[in-house]
Chain A
Amino acid sequence: MSDRARRMPRRHVPPWARFVARRLAAGLVVVWGTLTVTFFALHLAPGDIVDGLIGPGAAATPALRDQVIAENGLDDPLLVQYGRELAQLASGGLGWSYQLNEPIERLLGSQLGPTVELAVSALVTALVLAVLAAVLTAGRGRAVRGAAGLAELLMVSMPSFWLGIILLTVFSYRLHALPSIGADGPAALVLPTLALALPLAGVLAQVIRQELESADGRPFVLTARSRGLGATAVLLRHTLRHALLPLTTLAGFVLGSLFGGAVLVENIFTRPGLGRVLANAVGSRDLPVVSALVVISSAAFVVINTLVDVLHPLIDPRLREGGTA
């Protein structure tokens, strides 16, 4: 192996590795851009940066002001501060919340779990519901497709906070079937998951159904049917795979709507989590926390999109490079 490595010049990195590296590098640029935008927006925004960092929630005594200026080196030129922020981030530090009096990385670390739990369960629910709905309704008669289309439209148009409120009213306060607040145990996860998953399922079901129906007219489906394959087998072996392909490109959108939805759903259901941290931080103008969350979420975006770019050729052989004749 080492012998081989020595004989092969550096240029002979496998194409996929070079591809991944390129995508990651592009992603890093995006994160860096996000950080830069956030930093300068924060520092050039109207109002005193010292007040901005402290926020209205904490008492801005002259002593605290001096402390903030000293700790953040606010007397230094902007570019020096910017460089320091980059260095701090590179070492894993996210800054300090003066309002909560806590290092931000610890604050976020403690809130990450519930949000991830909610997002993952909502994602799985949405996918299952969407695939089921699409498979059961694609290519059916007008009545079925019309009803499915209407249901999808309603789910897409309902704000997740309103859906949450309806679920709360019906299942918690009327039927007393499920808990209304908190994050203890699986039962508390059911309603927030639905509130977050249903609008997403509406979108995904529409996309999958359209793909299934357009795939149905493609020549390879006709070929498969002409060799005696039944409609269900065609769906499972051929068209479903084609219909799921474009979902990967929606991954970034899905992540965004999960996180954006979590902000509201966690608020409605009074669940702990990053979404509530963010809502509270925006409400109290705790800028260090907001900017840390922005940078983290853009990093999550980059990771997801890179993953999609890497996975895409694995799913679709036509995208693989170096096809040999």
Chain B
Amino acid sequence: MSTVTALLDRPAAATRRGTLLRSPARLAPLVLLAAVALVLVFPGVFATHAPEATDVAAALRPPGAGHWLGTDQLGRDVWSRLVHGTRLSLLIAVGATLIGVGGGALLGLVAGCGGRHVDFALMRVVDVLLGFPELLLALLVVALLGGGTVNVAIAIGIAGVPNYARLVRGQARLVLRSEYVEAARVLGVPVWRSVLRHVLPNVGGPLVVLASIGLGSAIISGSGLSVLGLGPVPPEADWGSMVADGKDFLQTAWWISIAPGLAVSVVVVCTTLIGRSMQLRAVR
């Protein structure tokens, strides 16, 4: 599920300057995401129909002039539902990422900068959490809290905490053990000031990079939970629940599921590309 975040553990990824990341390729995902943001803020402008308007007479119509992306089994316009589903899909992902980054940064900083015993205790907790596959952890939280938009965001956020915590803790230790923090110590700079001056700024960069890539996997996780029917409660729909809706009509109306899945993929490609180009710039 978090296929994209696993790559970030690998520093080699940072040293290679991707052939994909020449300037047009760096610009394209930004432009696309800006467009998605516009859609998110002003769905009414882009939708051609009301997302909930059913029209049984026009059910399961293939993509064409009246309905760009066809209609679903209730005759609802897939394009308009896709446009209106943007907000939920992205809010779940952004909310989850914020929860993950916040919790992870806190846990990681305390572990990385705290004493040996604090570190040991906290990292054992993180180890336990890392022992779960991310989706399983999210499923456990959903099982405890129940489904729904907010709970899915919380669940994915919690599932992401260990990853962020490990990154922050590792980075913090790296900086604290660096020769320049030692040089600061030699100058008589107290440790807490070194944490503010050297550790925080040096942790922030990689954290933002991981978060932008993690945003992609949060979208995938969120829509995955929705596909399982655990996401937003109908009639509210995000892209994942649209995929779930269309699952039973694949034989006759493939477009119902393919379109929202494509939207997920495009947004994830964009966030991943942006994350990677930030990563490269950080190295440069």
A and B touch in their complex, CB below 8 angstroms: yes
- B176 beta carbon closer than 8 Å to chain A: no
18 A-B pairs with CB atoms under 8 Å apart are A30-B131, A37-B128, A149-B18, A150-B20, A153-B20, A154-B265, A157-B4, A158-B265, A159-B220, A162-B265, A180-B250, A214-B15, A252-B130, A256-B134, A260-B136, A260-B224, A261-B1, A282-B142
Chain A hits for B243, CB < 8 A: 161-162, 165
- B6 beta carbon closer than 8 Å to chain A: yes
Chain B hits for A279, CB < 8 A: 139, 228
B140 close to A199 (CB less than 8 A): no
Identify which of A142, A256, A261 contacts B19 (C-beta below 8 A). A142
Which residues of A159-202 have CB atoms within 8 Å of chain B's CB atoms?
159, 161-162, 165-166, 168-169, 173, 180, 199-200, 202
Contact (A34, B131) CB under 8 Å given A214-B15, A285-B143: yes
* Per-position binary interface string of chain B over residues 240-284, scored 1 when its CB falls under 8 Å from any chain A CB and 0 otherwise: 000100110011001001100110110011001100000000000
A246 close to B20 (CB less than 8 A): no
- B16 beta carbon closer than 8 Å to chain A: yes
- Extra inter-chain contacts (19) besides given A33-B125, A45-B145, A157-B269, CB under 8 Å: A30-B131, A33-B128, A33-B131, A37-B129, A149-B19, A153-B272, A153-B273, A157-B265, A159-B264, A162-B257, A162-B262, A256-B2, A256-B135, A267-B228, A282-B228, A287-B144, A290-B143, A298-B128, A301-B133
Q: Max chain A CB contacts within 10 Å: which of B2, B15, B144, B243?
A: B144
A203 close to B16 (CB less than 8 A): no
| Closest Cβ neighbor of B19 among chain A residues | A146
Q: Which of A75-83, A204-212, A310-318 forms contacts with chain B?
A: A204-212
- A23 beta carbon closer than 8 Å to chain B: no
| Closest Cβ neighbor of A168 among chain B residues | B250
B6 close to A250 (CB less than 8 A): yes
Interface size on A, residues (CB 8 A): 69
- B230 beta carbon closer than 8 Å to chain A: yes
In the bound complex, what is the Cα–Cα distance between A108 and B2 (angstroms)? 25
* Per-position binary interface string of chain A over residues 283-298, scored 1 when its CB falls under 8 Å from any chain B CB and 0 otherwise: 1010100110110011
A203 close to B3 (CB less than 8 A): yes
Identify which of B125, B133, B142 contacts A297 (C-beta below 8 A). B133
Contact (A173, B254) CB under 8 Å given A158-B265, A283-B229: yes
In the bound complex, what is the Cα–Cα distance between A288 and B7 (angstroms)? 34
Chain B hits for A268, CB < 8 A: 227, 247
- B124 beta carbon closer than 8 Å to chain A: yes
In the bound complex, what is the Cα–Cα distance between A108 and B12 (angstroms)? 40
| Closest Cβ neighbor of A252 among chain B residues | B130
Chain A hits for B262, CB < 8 A: 162
Contact (A253, B6) CB under 8 Å given A29-B124, A214-B12, A293-B136: yes
- B95 beta carbon closer than 8 Å to chain A: no
* Per-position binary interface string of chain B over residues 1-29, scored 1 when its CB falls under 8 Å from any chain A CB and 0 otherwise: 11110110010110110111000000000
In the bound complex, what is the Cα–Cα distance between A267 and B130 (angstroms)? 25
| Closest Cβ neighbor of A294 among chain B residues | B140
What is B's interface to A at a CB cutoff of 8 Å?
Answer: 1-4, 6-7, 10, 12-13, 15-16, 18-20, 124-125, 127-136, 139-140, 142-147, 216, 220, 223-224, 227-230, 243, 246-247, 250-251, 254, 257-258, 261-262, 264-265, 268-269, 272-273
A282 close to B230 (CB less than 8 A): yes
| Closest Cβ neighbor of B22 among chain A residues | A146
In the bound complex, what is the Cα–Cα distance between A310 and B20 (angstroms)? 38
A156 close to B4 (CB less than 8 A): yes
Chain A hits for B129, CB < 8 A: 37
Contact (A165, B1) CB under 8 Å given A33-B125, A282-B139, A282-B228: no
Identify which of A30, A202, A263 contacts B135 (C-beta below 8 A). A263
- A96 beta carbon closer than 8 Å to chain B: no
- A125 beta carbon closer than 8 Å to chain B: no
Chain A hits for B12, CB < 8 A: 210-211, 214
Chain B hits for A169, CB < 8 A: 250, 254, 258
Chain B hits for A72, CB < 8 A: none
B4 close to A166 (CB less than 8 A): no
Chain B hits for A199, CB < 8 A: 3
Identify which of A34, A259, A281, A285 contacts B146 (C-beta below 8 A). A285
CB distance from A218 to the nearest CB of B (A): 12
Chain B hits for A29, CB < 8 A: 124
Q: Max chain A CB contacts within 10 Å: which of B6, B220, B224, B262?
A: B6
Chain A hits for B227, CB < 8 A: 161, 264, 267-268
Q: Max chain B CB contacts within 10 Å: which of A33, A41, A157?
A: A157
In the bound complex, what is the Cα–Cα distance between A259 and B135 (angstroms)? 9
- A42 beta carbon closer than 8 Å to chain B: yes
